[in-house]
């Protein structure tokens, strides 16, 4: 390792170079989630792919560890690094929409909200996740499960091409016919294979959706009914079913604050009259506490993130499960009722539809046939609460798990290293390690759920 010559680095890059002592250093190093406090030696914001390659070269020259940041949403702070180099892509914000072709080239400094709003002006959409502030680079390389997944597939299912800066500084244009192994790997393999500087996405005609928040009381009948109805619904419907204490929002009666509710996020990508018919059985499960589901533009599905100074800290576990019967839902609710954390959540995402119509080996995401994704989380009140909250999350997850072990790489947290083989099982793992050996044999890109080179 060598000492970083800051003045030389500033001369070398047109983009911002931020180091400790600069007035904007603390803001620049901040991440979405709390719980980490990394202090990089330097944060560099390149202005083009050539400068991205220059940052990669700098990491080789200095021996400093490299972290790549898009939106900064990694739950355990992998997009920053103590004493190392943060390659912050936020200045790569070019976007080029081809309305006739229904495609968009978008640089990876853009967020899901940025791209969604831009293409919605033409009545078009590409599905990302459920947060507007997540970076498109991170969510896409990991897979992308969100409000349009059952209708139009995961984000990676709509990637047509990409531009990638590899560990040796090459700037490659990749697609199904050019570097097809790398193109396969960056669709679900995370940030292990290079720095993606832009993606070309297929767009879909989505002039509007019927969507929003549907809050219901959390009984076993309601939770089981919501999940079951959503899973059996036409694939135009995608939902996120959060079972959690009612937050103190203005539309929630004060006497219900803290009581267990279903905080359902609903998105129907089809005609409004059809949406009403499909949603009727879900609405009929109980008298809604709040029903904000209505015809809206697709960008309105992304709820406001709130206070920029709010950085939640939680312990969480992600898994796939094959069965969520009434008895199991009852047990989950009992655990939520007696949890040690004042704020805890179990989140259910029915999958299927377009997600399941893609072969497991078509992309590096290997869980196409799994019907449900589940996330269990407990928020921390301080470091002394972590151990008991972690144990509650582990025990609750063990109760829910059935079918083959599995995990979604974008939602892995502290357990990322030990569960990488669950994210990428068997043949997928072996293939990824071979691609890693070809494009990053020295494992430069290791601040991630890491895949070591074969």
Q: Please state whether beta strands 237-245 and 260-268 pair in parallel, antiparallel, or not at all (unpaired).
A: antiparallel
Q: Could you tell me which of 79, 181, 76 has the C-alpha nearest to residue 418?
A: 76
Average pLDDT, the chain: 94
What are the tens digits of pLDDT across the range 329-339?
Answer: 999 999 999 99
d(CA 44, CA 14): 10
Question: What's residue 1's pLDDT?
Answer: 41
| Helix/strand number for the chain, H first, E second | 13, 19
Question: What's residue 426's pLDDT?
Answer: 87
d(CA 172, CA 193): 12
- Of 66, 88, 110, which residue sits at a domain end? 88
**CB-CB neighbours of 385 under 10 Å:** 17
Residues 119 and 199 in one domain: yes
What are the tens digits of pLDDT across the range 138-152?
Answer: 999 999 999 999 999
Q: Is residue 394 part of a domain?
A: yes
d(CA 256, CA 279): 24
| 55-64, 226-235, 302-311: least confidently modelled range | 302-311
Q: Is residue 138 part of a domain?
A: yes
What are the tens digits of pLDDT across the range 23-39?
Answer: 999 999 988 766 678 89
Q: Is residue 105 part of a domain?
A: yes
What are the tens digits of pLDDT across the range 7-18?
Answer: 999 999 999 999
Residues 224 and 167 in one domain: no
Please name the residue that has the structure tokens 């144990």. 391
Q: How far is CA 392 from the centre of its chain?
A: 23
How many structural domains are present in the chain? 4
Q: What one-character DSSP code corresponds to residue 53? A: H
Confidence of residue 281 (pLDDT cuts 50, 70, 90): very high
Residue 293 scores a pLDDT above 70: yes
Q: What are the CA-CA distances from residue 310 to residues 31, 33, 89, 106, 114 (Å)?
A: 10, 8, 22, 28, 21
Residues 201 and 141 in one domain: yes
Residues 125 and 36 in one domain: no
Q: What one-character DSSP code corresponds to residue 152? A: H
Q: Give the contacts of 233 (CB within 8 A, at least 6 positions apart).
A: 278
Q: Which residues pair with 390 in a beta bridge?
A: none
Contact 326, 220 (CB under 8 A): yes
Q: Which two tokens stand for residue 446?
A: 């290791």
Q: Could you tell me which of 355, 352, 344 has the C-alpha nearest to residue 322?
A: 352
Q: Is residue 444 part of a domain?
A: no
Mean pLDDT score, 282-290: 97
314 vs 39, more confident: 39
Query: What's the first-to-final CA gap in the chain, in angstroms?
Result: 25
CA atoms within 13 A on the CB side of 387: 1
Residues 214 and 199 in one domain: no
Residue 238 scores a pLDDT above 90: yes
**CATH at 57:** 3.30.43.10
d(CA 310, CA 161): 36
Confidence of residue 308 (pLDDT cuts 50, 70, 90): low
Contact 203, 125 (CB under 8 A): yes
Q: What are the CA-CA distances from residue 235 to residues 108, 153, 231, 304 (Å)?
A: 29, 10, 9, 26
**CATH at 121:** 3.30.465.10
Q: Give the contacts of 280 (CB within 8 A, at least 6 positions apart).
A: none
- Of 264, 296, 328, which residue sits at a domain end? 296
Residue 291: Cβ-neighbour burial (10 angstroms; 0-12, 13-18, 19+):
middle
Q: Could you tell me which of 324, 268, 276, 322 has the C-alpha nearest to residue 298?
A: 268
d(CA 260, CA 98): 46
CA atoms within 13 A on the CB side of 136: 32
Range of the domain at 58: 6-88
Q: Please state whether beta strands 294-296 and 237-245 pair in parallel, antiparallel, or not at all (unpaired).
A: unpaired
Q: Give the contacts of 307 (CB within 8 A, at least 6 positions apart).
A: none
Residues 104 and 192 in one domain: yes
d(CA 127, CA 153): 8
Q: What one-character DSSP code corresponds to residue 345? A: E
Q: How far is CA 97 from the centre of its chain?
A: 23
51 vs 37, more confident: 51
Residues 108 and 182 in one domain: yes
**CATH at 245:** 3.40.462.20
Q: Is residue 411 part of a domain?
A: yes
Residues 152 and 173 in one domain: yes
- Of 205, 229, 258, which residue sits at a domain end? 205
d(CA 74, CA 79): 7
Q: Is residue 305 part of a domain?
A: no
Residues 215 and 201 in one domain: no
Question: What's residue 414's pLDDT?
Answer: 85
Residues 368 and 407 in one domain: yes
Q: Which two tokens stand for residue 237?
A: 């419907």
**Torsion over CA of 131, 135, 141 and 147, rounded to 10 degrees?**
20
Q: Is residue 18 part of a domain?
A: yes
Residues 35 and 63 in one domain: yes
pTM of the model: 0.95
Q: Phi and psi (nearest 5°) for 221?
A: -65, -40
Residues 237 and 284 in one domain: yes
Total residue count of the chain as it appears in this document: 454
Q: Is residue 213 part of a domain?
A: yes
């Amino acid at each position: 390792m060598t000492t970083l010559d800051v003045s030389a680095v500033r001369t070398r890059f047109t983009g911002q170079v931020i180091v400790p002592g600069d007035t904007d250093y603390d803001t620049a190093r901040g991440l979405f989630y709390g719980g980490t406090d990394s202090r990089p030696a330097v944060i560099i914001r390149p202005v083009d792919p050539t400068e991205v390659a220059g940052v990669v070269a700098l990491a080789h020259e200095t021996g400093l560890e490299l972290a790549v940041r898009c939106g900064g949403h990694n739950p355990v702070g992998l997009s920053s690094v103590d004493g190392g180099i943060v390659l912050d892509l936020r200045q790569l914000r070019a976007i080029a929409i081809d309305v006739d072709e229904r495609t968009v080239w978008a640089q990876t400094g853009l967020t899901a909200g940025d791209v969604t709003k831009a293409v919605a002006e033409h009545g078009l959409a590409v599905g990302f996740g459920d947060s507007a502030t997540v970076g498109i680079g991170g969510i896409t390389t990991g897979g992308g499960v969100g409000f349009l997944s059952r209708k139009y597939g995961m984000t990676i299912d709509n990637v047509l091409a990409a531009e990638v800066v590899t560990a040796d500084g090459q700037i490659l244009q990749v697609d199904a016919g050019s570097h097809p192994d790398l193109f396969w790997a960056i669709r679900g393999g995370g940030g292990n294979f290079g720095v993606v500087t832009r993606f070309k996405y297929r767009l879909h005609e989505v002039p509007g959706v019927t969507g929003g928040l549907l809050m219901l009381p959390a009984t076993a009948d309601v939770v089981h009914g919501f999940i079951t109805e959503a899973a059996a619904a036409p694939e135009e419907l995608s939902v996120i079913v959060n079972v959690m204490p009612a937050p103190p929002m203005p539309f929630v009666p004060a006497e219900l604050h803290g009581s267990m509710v279903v905080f359902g996020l609903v998105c129907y990508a089809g005609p409004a009259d059809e949406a009403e018919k499909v949603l009727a059985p879900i609405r009929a499960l109980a008298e809604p506490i709040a029903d904000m589901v209505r015809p809206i533009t697709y960008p309105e599905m992304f709820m406001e993130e709130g206070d920029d100074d709010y950085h939640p800290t939680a312990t969480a576990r992600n898994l796939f499960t094959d069965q969520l019967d009434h008895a199991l839902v009852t047990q989950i609710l009992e655990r939520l009722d007696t949890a040690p954390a004042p704020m805890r959540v179990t989140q259910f995402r029915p999958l299927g539809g377009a997600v399941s119509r893609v072969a497991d080996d078509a992309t590096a995401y290997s869980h196409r046939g799994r019907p449900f994704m589940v996330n269990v989380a407990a928020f921390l009140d301080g470091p002394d609460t972590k151990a008991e909250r972690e144990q509650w999350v582990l025990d609750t997850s063990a109760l829910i798990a059935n079918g083959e072990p599995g995990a979604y790489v974008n939602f892995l947290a502290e357990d990322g290293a030990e569960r990488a083989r669950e994210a990428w099982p068997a043949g997928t793992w072996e293939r990824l390690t071979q691609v890693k050996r070809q494009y990053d044999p020295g494992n430069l890109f290791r601040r991630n759920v890491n895949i070591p080179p074969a």
